[in-house]
Homo-oligomer: A and B are copies of this chain.
Amino acid sequence: MKVKLRVTVMKKPGVLDPEGKAIGRALAHLGFAGVEEVRAGKVIELDLDAESEAAAEAAAREMAERLLANGVIERFRIERLAA
């Protein structure tokens, strides 16, 4: 079956996020008020052909641990997308 998943990778809390900080400064420079914090990360959308939704999620978790995220400084979250 076809399963669409989204893996979102963000810095772990406490890890410096220079890209988020740079975006925050750029937004302030453009005149946007009320921006209290900005965090930047990456998103990887996967179209998988798997035995089941559970198998697809398990595969995506392994992909994130082995390739998509750096477990030392990043955490990831996996969400199912509408097929």
B36, A2: Cβ atoms under 8 Å?
A: yes
A42, B44: Cβ atoms under 8 Å?
A: no
A44, B34: Cβ atoms under 8 Å?
A: no
Copy number in the complex reads 2
In the bound complex, CA of A67 to CA of B32 (Å): 11
Complex interface: chain B residues within 8 A of A45 (CB): 10, 20, 38-41
B38, A46: Cβ atoms under 8 Å?
A: yes
In the bound complex, CA of A47 to CA of B43 (Å): 19
Complex interface: chain B residues within 8 A of A36 (CB): 2, 47-49
Which A residues fall within an 8 A CB radius of B?
2, 8, 10, 20, 23, 26-27, 30, 32, 34-50, 56, 59, 62-63, 66-68
